[in-house]
Structures are given as structure tokens and as C-alpha cells.
Structure 1
């Protein structure tokens, strides 16, 4: 029987090894993750995330799941919006990222309406038809079986609920694509080495972006998982796209 493989950046690795390799990357970068996000995107990631929060349209009393929630950039404003009547679950497969996120939110005074869960997106440990809104920002490309993860998200989303996926995508213009490649493969690893002492992890992150499905492919994958009225918005020339789907 042929052994199943998948990609880890540009490498082909055994299917069952990818999760542990991705875990090693994020254990390495967790402590400097927020600083690196600001440096890598020149702060633009904050705009992308604000738009995601606005499009999520959560209200007081809502149940929200933020998958691959990392250091809490979405969970924090969600917690403020759902209020004490609601609940936000910050879920991440990586213990180091989850710990950094928990400490950050506690430092911001966020407490009783946020729950922290170490979870794999492919098999979410939540009941069917439960959340009003699910978000995953810059995490789907690191998931081994993306189709399984999308089905799992659709399962725990309640009818009428929204799934929003914020992720790097394919630039719309050839010149922008060339400039972006130069930055990603030459500048980004050097910044990673300088700030986080880890060039290899940021080289992997650049490669993982190139291996992620493009805008239309991800839209089709969401539809196949059972989501409807799927659309997407290209941001910063398609370097990032925000996909949104509804469970009817």
C-alpha cells in the first residue's frame, strides 16, 4: 500500500508527520509572533483582522469559535462584542501559541467569557450546530487535511452561522507577485533570523503560502464542505483573501 504524503512547505512528507512539523515551527516562533506579524506585514495585518471582525457581525450573547486563534488578535475584540452573555472559544492545536494567547488576553483584562481549548481543526471537540460564528485567520494553510477541517467547522456551525477564513492567497497582478516573491524568500527569512533567531521557520511560512489553494479553489472547497453563499474579498492586491460562507 502506497504511503500517503502531503506538503510541508515545498517538501513532501508522510501525512502523519506534518502536524508535528508545523507544531515545531510554532513552538519556535510563539514568543515573538506578534512582533513578527507587525514587521512582516508592516502592520497591515491589523487592518485585515479588523475587516474580518466587522464581517463576522457577532452580537451580544453569541457563541464564537476562533480556530488557530494563536495570540488572540480576534478573540479579544470578539470577547468584547459578545459580552458576558456570550462566549468565545480560542482554539489552537499548538500549546505554546495557546499559552501566549491566554497570557495576552488576561493581561488585557479579558476573563470569564473566553475559553481556551487545545484542538485539531480536523476533528473539533464541540457539539453539532453550536457556534454562531467561526473564524480561522492564517491557520488553514498549516492544516494537514483542509477538507476534513472545513467539514468539521461546518458541522459545529449552527444553521445561519458564518465561517470566515482569512488567509494568504494569490496576488492578482504579475508584477506584485514577483515583488512579493522577492520579499517572501529573501527578506522574510532574514527578518526571522534577526528578530526570532529562526530563519527556517519563516522560510517554511513563505513556502506554505505558495502551496495554499487559490481564491477560487478555496471557495469550491468551502462549498463542498456544505457551506453556501460563499464569497471572498481580495485584500492588498490578493496577497490575502477573506472568504465567507453561511451554513443554511
Structure 2
């Protein structure tokens, strides 16, 4: 939900803007990397809770995800104002919480695709961002906004499917493997597109001194792409099993 909101805001701002932050992505990248390291720390902590006190994980997961959503909107607002001193600890805390809420998926991944699957998912995200940079930076205005709108609509539709998937799971109706593969595959494609769009949209949305707001957007794209690649690998593994 937070990633969709961030994407919509960025497109809306960019549509009426020329290139306002030519260096904003370069300034943002170290903070994206730092956020991902903190996410790894948060996941490690979550895995520790699962292994030592599994009965505590779900209650703390619920608290963490509520806090994560609330903190996202606070951090986004502070970062967009260029108040970087206040935004850094907010984004650091958000990254830790994000890692904690990812621990359940990583736990499942470790028991199905192993550490190599996690490395492949992380590496795939890195390769995607390296490839997306020259593509997104060189898109024409027409193509860039057309792609942004397409990806935006696709992510909204994907969110609806994921909410329905979650609701069905509460009633004991779980997604068949072939459908999970399809959903995860679509998610991978959409967030690959979102990575390209980031390099087009963000310099038209944020000034160079608003690099933390840009870092948050790129971080969300990376994390969501990681999640869907990992879900896809898990689904393939289960089908083969």
C-alpha cells in the first residue's frame, strides 16, 4: 500500500515538472544501500525471534507492520520537505521494521530455495537497477510518462489481487502453485518496470537536496522486486517438489 501511494505521488508531481534534480539519484544511492543493510539486520533479528520464540513472532510482526506503515507516511513527508536531519533516523527505523516484517518470507525461503535463492533474488535486484539506470534516464517524456502510468495501474491491480489473496488465506483458501507463480511473475515484471520509471520520474520530482525522499522510493522498488523474485523462486521450487 505504501509503495503504491509513493508511486502515485511521484508521477503526479513529475507530470508538471522539468528536470529539477539531475543529481538526486546519485545523492540517494548511498542511503538506499544503507537502508538495505539495516533491512538485513532487521531480518536477522526476526529470524532470531522465529527460531528462539516462534510464538512471539506473529504478535510482534503485526505491531511492526502497523508501525512500518505509519512511519512510512511520516518519513515520506519529512524527507519530501528536505529535512534530512530528521528524516535519516526515521528512514533507518523504517528499514529495520521492513526487515523484521520480511523475516517470515526469508524463513520460508531458507527452507525451500536456501541461501542461494536469497542471493539470486538480491543479485537480480542489483542487476535490474544497473540496467534500469541508462534506460530510464534516456526515456523520452512521452514514453516515460506512458510507462509510468502503465506500471502504476499494474501495481494497483496487483495490490488488489494480493489483498484478496490475504483475505482468502484467513478462511483457509490458499493460492494454487500455478496461480502463485503467475502473481509473482507479474509482480517481478511490474517492479522491473518501476525500477526503470524511478530513473525517469525521480529527477523530475525531487530537487537534489530531497535525496532522502528519492532514496525511499528506490528502496521500496528494490524491496518489492526482491519480495516477488523470492516468491517466484519459492513457488517454482514447490511446484517441482
| TM exceeding 0.5 | no
Higher-RCO chain (CA-CA 8 Å, sequence separation at least 6): 2
- TM-score between both structures, scaled by the size of structure 2: 0.29
Judging by fraction of residues, say which structure has more helix. 2
TM value normalised by structure 1: 0.29
